Amino acid sequence: MTKEAFDPDAGGILEGGVTQSSSTTAFAQKPPEAPTSNEETNNVPDGGLRAWLVVLGAWCGLFCSFGWLNSIGIFQSYYETSLLPQYSASTIAWIPSLEIFFTFAMSPIIGRLYDSFGPRYIILGGSFLHVFGLMMASISSEYYQLLLSQGVCSAMGICAIFQPSVSTIPSWFHRNRGAAYGIISSGTSLGGVVFPIMVSQLIRRVGYAWSMRISALLILSLLVVVNLTVKSRVPPQPQHLSRGTLLQPFREVPMILLLIGFFFLTFGVFIPINYLVIQAIDEGMSDTLAQYLIALLNAASLFGRISAGILSDKIGTYNILVTACYLAGVLSLALWIPATSNVGIIMFSILFGFASGAYVALAAALVVRISPSPEIGYRTGILFLVGSISGITASPIGGAILQSRGGSYIVLRTRLTTMSSNIPAFYRIVLLWYEPISSALGAYLTLVTPDTYLNSFIPSTMTVRNPMQDMIFNQLGAAFFYVATSQGILLRYTSDVGVWRIVNGCLLGWDFILLYSWWSGMQMQGRLDPATWRSEDMSALVPTVFITLVRAAITAGVGLRASKSNVKKL
C-alpha cells in the first residue's frame, strides 16, 4: 500500500473510510457523511479576495466575542478583591460561568437561525446585545446587575457573533479549511492578550466603569467590520423543523462521542483560565505580574491555534485535537499542580495556552467533518450547548472546592486527599487515578464491546471479529482489570516508596508488550507511516507511551524522596 492511498486531510477517529478493488483494499480517511456534494466542493473558491475578507471579518468577530470571553479571569479577581468583596469566590464565579453558559447554550438556536436565514441579521443583533451588555455592566454595582448585564446580555451577543462567524468558513474553504479556522481562531487569542492588559491598566487609571465603556467602544468599531464582511457563499436553506431533524445528531454514534469528549474538554479548559490569576496572587505573585498571566496564556494560544489549524489540513483534525488534549492534560498534572513559584506558574500559563489552542481552533471543524452541509450551524450549536454545561459548572465547583478546603489551591488543582509526601502529587494522580481509570476502560472495551477495542488497532475493513476468539478478549480484559486494581487499590494502602517502585517496575513489562504489539500490528497492516495513522491508532499509542514513561520514571526513582522501606530488596 502506498502513502498516496491514504488521505491525511480527513484524519480522525470518526473519519475512517475504505476504497476497495478486486485485489487489494486501500484505506482512505474521509468523513462518514459527505458534508458537501462533489460539485459543491469543486465550486468552493478556497481563496480569493472575497473569501479572505470573510476570514478578516470572522477574525474580528472572534476577537470581540471569544477573545473577550478569554479574559474572564481578570474579572473574577477584580470582583473578589474590589467590587464585590462581600461575596464568596463560589458565588462570584457564577458571573463568568453564566457568561460561558449563555455563550454556548444559545448555540443550537443561533445555529438553526443561521441555517435558515444566514449570518447577516444574527450578527447585527448580536453586536447590539454584546455592546449594550458591556455598557450596562459599566454602571452596575450590585451582584444581580452584573449577572444580567455581563453574564446574560453580553454573553447572548457573543454567541450571536461567534457562531455565524465560524459557520461561514466551510462555504468559502475546503482544502485550506483548517488553516482558515486556525487564522480566525487566532483572533480569540489576540483578544485574550489585549483585553486583560487593557482592562487591568484602565481600571487603575480611569476606574472600572470607564474601562468597560472603552472596551465596549473598541468592540463596537470592530463589529462594524464584521457586519460588512462576514457573508455565506451558500444561500440559506430554510428547513421545516421536525422532531426527527432535531434529534438526528443524537442518533449518530460519531456525533455522540464527539459531544461526550467536548463536555470533558470544556470542563478542563476553563478552570485554569478562571482561577490562574487569583491562585498566582495567593502563591505570592505580585498583583501587577499576575494580571499578565491570562495575556501570556492567550498569546501562547495564538501560536497553538494557528499551528493546529495548519497541521489539521495535513495530519487530520481529530488527530491534532487528540494530541493537544493529552498534552494539555499532562501539563496540568506535571506543571500546574506542583507550581508555586512565579517561574513555574508563568511556564504553565504559556505551555497550557499553546496546548489548549486547538480547543477553539478546531471545535467547529470537528463538526464539519462528520455533518452534512445544511446542518453545520445547528450541529455546531449542539456541540457548544454541551460545552455550556461544563462551562456553567466548572467555576462554581472549583470555587466550592476552594472554599471547603480553606483556600487551598493545591486541592482545587488535584482534588486529592494528601498521602505521604514521599510520593509526589504527579505520580499519585497518574497512578492512582489516570492509570486505573484508563485500564478499567480497557477492561470494559475488551469484555463488553470487543469490536470497538479491535477497531482501535485494526480498521474494521481489514478484519472481522470471530466470536470463537472472545475468550482471548476475556483474558485480555482480566489483565486490564488486574492492572486497574493493583494501581487503584493496592497502592492506595501504602506510601512506601519501595512498594511503589517494585509494583510499577513489574508492570513495565506489560507496557512494553503493549507497545510492541502496537508496532507489530501496524507493521503487518503496512501502516507504520504516521501519515496513515487514524485517531484510533493515536488513542491507543499516546496513552501507552505516556504511562510507560511515567512508570519508568518512578521505577528509576526520579523525583522520589528517600525513605525507609520495609520491603526486602531483590
Question: Mind listing the pLDDT tens digit for each residue in 490-519?
Answer: 777 677 788 888 888 888 888 898 898 888
Is 23 inside a domain boundary?
Answer: no
Grid coordinates belonging to 250: 443524537
Is 130 inside a domain boundary?
Answer: yes
Can you state the angle between helices 208-229 and 49-64, rounded to 10 degrees? Answer: 160
Region of poorest pLDDT, from 86-90, 249-253, 375-379, 396-400: 396-400
**Residue 139 DSSP one-character state:** T
Q: How confident is the model at residue 568 (pLDDT cuts 50, 70, 90)?
A: very low
Residue 153 has pLDDT above 90, yes or no: yes
pLDDT score of 125: 94
Contact 230, 54 (CB under 8 A): yes
Domain boundary among 235, 265, 296: 235
Mean pLDDT of 176-188: 83
pLDDT score of 74: 75
Backbone angles phi, psi at 431, to 5 degrees: -90, -20
The C-alpha cell 493515536 sits at 538
Contacts of 67 (CB under 8 A, 6+ apart): 187, 188, 189, 190, 191, 192, 194, 195, 298
Contacts of 129 (CB under 8 A, 6+ apart): 153, 154, 156, 157, 160
Domain boundary among 387, 414, 441: 414
Q: How confident is the model at residue 395 (pLDDT cuts 50, 70, 90)?
A: low
Domain identity same for 97 and 121: yes
Residue 206 has pLDDT above 80, yes or no: yes
Contact 287, 337 (CB under 8 A): no
Give the mean pLDDT of the chain.
78
144: number of Cβ within 10 Å:
9
Q: How confident is the model at residue 211 (pLDDT cuts 50, 70, 90)?
A: very high
Domain identity same for 169 and 203: yes
Backbone angles phi, psi at 20, to 5 degrees: -115, 150
Mean pLDDT of 361-371: 81
Cα separation, 378 vs 245, whole angstroms: 10
Domain identity same for 49 and 162: yes
The string of pLDDT tens digits covering residues 311-349 is 887 888 888 888 888 788 777 777 777 777 888 889 888
Region of poorest pLDDT, from 231-240, 445-454, 516-525: 231-240
Is 31 inside a domain boundary?
Answer: no
Full residue range of the structural domain in which residue 330 is found: 247-414
Is 223 inside a domain boundary?
Answer: yes
In order of 9, 173, 519, the CA distances from 6 in angstroms are: 9, 21, 19
pLDDT score of 2: 39
Q: Between 439 and 239, where is the model more confident? A: 439
Residue 227 has pLDDT above 90, yes or no: yes
pLDDT score of 59: 94
pLDDT score of 226: 94
The C-alpha cell 519501595 sits at 498
The C-alpha cell 479491535 sits at 454
pLDDT score of 136: 94
Q: How confident is the model at residue 402 (pLDDT cuts 50, 70, 90)?
A: low
Cα separation, 369 vs 389, whole angstroms: 23
Residue 414 has pLDDT above 60, yes or no: no
Domain identity same for 502 and 451: yes
Is 162 inside a domain boundary?
Answer: yes
Cα separation, 492 vs 128, whole angstroms: 55
Grid coordinates belonging to 272: 485554569
Residue 421 has pLDDT above 70, yes or no: no
Domain identity same for 92 and 210: yes
One-letter identity of residue 146? L
Q: How confident is the model at residue 569 (pLDDT cuts 50, 70, 90)?
A: very low
**Three-state SS string across 299-338, please?**
HHHHHHHHHHHHHHHHHCHHHHHHHHHHHHHHHHHHHHCC
Cα separation, 323 vs 535, whole angstroms: 9
pLDDT score of 410: 52
pLDDT score of 192: 79
pLDDT score of 269: 78
CA angle 359, 360, 362 (to 5 degrees): 75
Q: How are the residues of the chain apportioned to helix, strand and coil, as percentages rounded to the nearest 5?
A: 75, 0, 25
pLDDT score of 418: 37
In order of 179, 216, 259, 366, the CA distances from 373 in angstroms are: 19, 34, 19, 13
Residue 180 has pLDDT above 80, yes or no: yes
In order of 381, 455, 492, the CA distances from 13 in angstroms are: 21, 10, 34
- What percentage of the chain has pLDDT greater than the value 70? 84
Please state the domain count of the chain: 3
**Three-state SS string across 45-80, please?**
CCCCHHHHHHHHHHHHHHHHCHHHHCCHHHHHHHHH
Reduced to 3 states (helix: H, G, I; strand: E, B; else coil), residue 20 is: strand
pLDDT score of 444: 81
**Residue 241 DSSP one-character state:** -
Residue 219 has pLDDT above 90, yes or no: yes
pLDDT score of 134: 94
- What percentage of the chain has pLDDT greater than the value 90? 12
Mean pLDDT of 474-481: 85
Cα separation, 34 vs 386, whole angstroms: 24
Contact 454, 463 (CB under 8 A): yes
Total-model pTM? 0.56
Contacts of 318 (CB under 8 A, 6+ apart): 11, 12, 13, 14, 15, 366, 369, 535
Is 2 inside a domain boundary?
Answer: no
Cα separation, 239 vs 504, whole angstroms: 58
Domain identity same for 377 and 438: no
Q: Between 27 and 179, where is the model more confident? A: 179
Is 242 inside a domain boundary?
Answer: no
Domain identity same for 478 and 451: yes
CA angle 260, 264, 269 (to 5 degrees): 140
**Three-state SS string across 375-421, please?**
HHHHHHHHHHHHHHHHHHHHHHHHHHHHHHCCCCHHHHHHCCCCCCC
Region of poorest pLDDT, from 6-10, 394-398, 437-441: 6-10
Where residue 179 sits, what CATH number does that domain have?
Answer: 1.20.1250.20
The string of pLDDT tens digits covering residues 270-316 is 777 777 877 788 778 888 788 788 778 878 888 887 888 788 878 88
pLDDT score of 161: 94
Region of poorest pLDDT, from 354-358, 392-396, 402-406, 477-481: 402-406
The string of pLDDT tens digits covering residues 47-88 is 788 888 999 999 999 999 988 887 776 787 788 888 888 888
The string of pLDDT tens digits covering residues 12-39 is 333 333 333 333 333 233 333 434 444 4
Domain identity same for 224 and 255: no
In order of 27, 343, 350, the CA distances from 301 in angstroms are: 34, 18, 8
Domain boundary among 414, 448, 476: 414
Is 38 inside a domain boundary?
Answer: no
Domain identity same for 335 and 297: yes
245: number of Cβ within 10 Å:
13
Domain identity same for 476 and 544: yes
Domain identity same for 217 and 264: no
Domain identity same for 446 and 547: yes
The string of pLDDT tens digits covering residues 93-116 is 788 878 877 887 788 888 888 888
pLDDT score of 55: 92
